[in-house]
Structure 1
Amino acid sequence: MLTSRIALLVLAWVLPLRLLWADTLPMPEGQAVLKVTGKITQTNVGDEAHFDYAMLEALGMHVIETHTPWTEGMSRFAGPLGRDLLDAVGAQGDLLKVKALNEFVADVPIADLRSHDVILAVERDGERMPVRDFGPIFVLYPFDENPDLLNETYRFRSVWQVSSIRVE
């Protein structure tokens, strides 16, 4: 009887810890290509969320076949949906500050990622995108699917060479 009570006490203590661990992001095993900061609830490096390619791919790859103002012809881009990244980090704000490797920053409303299939493209035509060709990450709107998005506002929000995202 005493043994079963001790086992129940240990289980009652360990189970909440296990549930807490289940809500944390794993650590990147490869080189981090994206850092998410700001109003987020899920982190893995201090108060930040770092992602390597494998972690981004694990969010689920979504494909957009589209023309863009910056590329010739139709391209097939693949990457996780922006809203899946927001869910993974527990984003609590309504604006993203998307920063490129060259320090360019664009404001992207979180509503864009919730209402459109915006992806964080990591591949173009089946190949991982190098920095010289929009990589490592390209915030991409489904332009051909929704031609209303092909205007100055959304082109400005389509940041390439993304290095970090701050949720505000």
Structure 2
Amino acid sequence: MALPSARAATLRDPTGPVVLTVTGKIGVANAGPKADFDLAMLEELPGRTTTIETPWTKGLVAFQGPLCSVLLDRLRADGTVLHIVALNDYAVDVPISDCRQWPVILATRKDGKPMPVRDKGPLFLIYPFDAEPALYNEKIFTRSAWQIRSIDIR
């Protein structure tokens, strides 16, 4: 008797356009060895709203999205690095420990609205500059990727 796939049973298929593909060391997938997410799937994950000023925005902006740690847990990620690639092929390695130590979010909304590509969307990795002012530095700025299209767990 064949057992049902735990992978297929735990992550539904996206019904809207795929905005994020996660590959690498994951234990849950929905598209062969990868996990594809539409915006609704990401926004169903527990998250937070953080109202901050960033080097890339004017004044205070409210960013909202799932916690990076929750996404990693959901996928049963087993790695040490997030290799993030943006739509323009910008790539950066982010230690997974950042997501475990601080409430880093994968922002899907800015001031309550989905972020279009021209405004750093659809996904923007946001550190909690409001809760941890020491994070407001060049090292962390380089990790704060926007227009994210994929994450490879390494």
1:35 corresponds to which of 21, 36, 54: 21
Q: What's the CA shift for 1:144?
A: 2.2
1:114 corresponds to which of 79, 86, 100: 100
Kindly tell me the number of residue pairs found equivalent between the two proteins: 154
Q: How does 1:38-57 map to 2 (within 5 A)?
A: 38-57=24-43
Gaps of 5+ in 1: 1-12
Q: Which structure carries more helix by proportion?
A: 1
Q: How does 1:12-161 map to 2 (within 5 A)?
A: 17=4, 20=6, 23-161=9-147
> What TM-score, normalized by structure 1, do the two folds share?
0.87
Percent of matched pairs sharing the same residue? 48
- The RMSD of aligned alpha carbons is 1.5
> What TM-score, normalized by structure 2, do the two folds share?
0.95
- Displaced runs of 4 or more, over 3 A: none
Separation of aligned partners in 1, 2:9 and 2:95: 25
Distance 1:68 1:87, change over 3 A: same
Q: What's the CA shift for 1:62?
A: 1.3
Q: What's the CA shift for 1:47?
A: 0.1
Separation of aligned partners in 1, 2:146 and 2:114: 13
Separation of aligned partners in 2, 1:134 and 1:127: 12
The structure number with the bigger radius of gyration is: 1
